Amino acid sequence: MSIEQADVVVIGLGTIGSAAAWQLSKRFDRVIGIEQFGLGHPFGGYTGESRLYRAAYHEGSMYVPLLMRARELWFELQKAAGRELFLPVGTLSVAPEGDTSIANVVKSVQEHDIPHEVFDADALRKRYPQFRVHDDDMAVLDLLGGGLRPELTVYSTQELARVNGATLYDHEQVYSIAEDGGHVTIRTSGRIIHAEHVVVTTGSWASELHPELASVIKVHPLVLTWFIPERLDDFLPEAFPTFIRDRDGVHFFGAPSLDGYSVKVSPDNLMPAVRTVADLPRVLPQSLLDSLGAKARSFFPALQPQPVHYSTHPEGFTANKVPIIDRSDSGRVVAITGLSGHGFKFTPVFGELAARLIADEQTELYDDRFSIAAHLAAVS
């Protein structure tokens, strides 16, 4: 078995790993990436045609500086890749006035001076007749928001990393990571690598290499659904933004039509955790599809009642939905995982953060709540 030398090895070339490889390849000469599947595959949490970017963030104000830096990097990445990755269509949050979710969005745009528009129920009906609007509804349009293209993003960051000299191996299993004096030894199905540093971004498979994370990360199935609308023109990007819709304990999110026939209207927190990714359900029962269709039509009356297609994806959730971003005591191993269903919008800035942690660069974007210690304390 061959023995190779590297400055940095990235394990897991999905969303964050590929972005980290791109950022690291700007700083280091010998960057190696390892992926257990293909370079671009249907098994991870990032696939599914589109994701949302939001600057107005109801999950917490600590994320807003990260989001603003991420937006800068999205456009940098898009320019470097030469393909559209960010669709600047805005993100619309709709909920009953006084609902916690919309109150947090209002607080976010006010505290951080985010460009936005606010709609009462009547104005919302006029501007976006696609929605069924109740008299107590209100909406906030985040003008910095938009849609993201996940598969193209992962491909683009891998492509740029290789242009910068990174070596990416696919269909290769990692068996162990061991800090050994002045370096880290990585043993895979194809080689042994001695590296100065390692970035571990294995997503829903994180506990396989870091068993201590099993207590703080649970694998949940994410379900994405698409419906055919009566009038496609009403749901094209020039007429319809990405959106979040909350009412009566039901949460849906989605994006304008990108495939020319359907619109993404997807639920949140639909299914319980599974033991491992291998237990992820791929076929949903008809009763569940019927329920999803009824709920989607309660928000968008012009949708056909059955999903025209759907997909399920694994995602690692922490108890408080705060991601894990940390490095070992030696500083040689950095782990990013537990993105909890809201990580894709951070892709380029989390990749940059991984590179900064490896390079021991100071950054105000890091929060101590991201540490493994903080998560272990939370579940103890």
Nearest alpha-carbon partner for 177 in 332, 336, 358, 32: 332
List average pLDDT for each run of 10 residues in the chain, which is 380 residues long.
94 98 98 97 94 91 92 98 98 96 92 96 98 98 98 98 98 95 94 97 92 90 97 98 96 97 91 92 94 96 97 94 94 95 96 96 92 88
Nearest alpha-carbon partner for 189 in 70, 44, 35, 310: 35
Q: Which domains does the chain have, with CATH numbers?
A: 2-47+151-217+320-379 (3.50.50.60), 76-146+219-315 (3.30.9.10)
Give the pair of three-digit tokens for residue 217.
């990360």
pLDDT of residue 316: 95
Nearest alpha-carbon partner for 152 in 227, 77, 64: 77
pLDDT of residue 20: 98
According to DSSP, the β-strands at 242-247 and 324-327 are: unpaired
| Three-state SS at 96 | strand
Question: What is the amino acid identity at position 167?
Answer: T
pLDDT of residue 6: 98
pLDDT of residue 79: 98
Please give the angle made by the CA atoms of 177, 181 and 187, to the nearest 5 degrees.
Answer: 25
**275 burial type by CB count under 10 A (0-12 exposed, 13-18 middle, 19+ buried):** exposed
CA distance 319 to 368: 16
Confirm if 245 and 94 have CB atoms less than 8 A apart.
yes
Give the pair of three-digit tokens for residue 214.
């099993």
Nearest alpha-carbon partner for 159 in 79, 80, 51, 85: 80
CA distance 1 to 189: 9
pLDDT of residue 271: 87
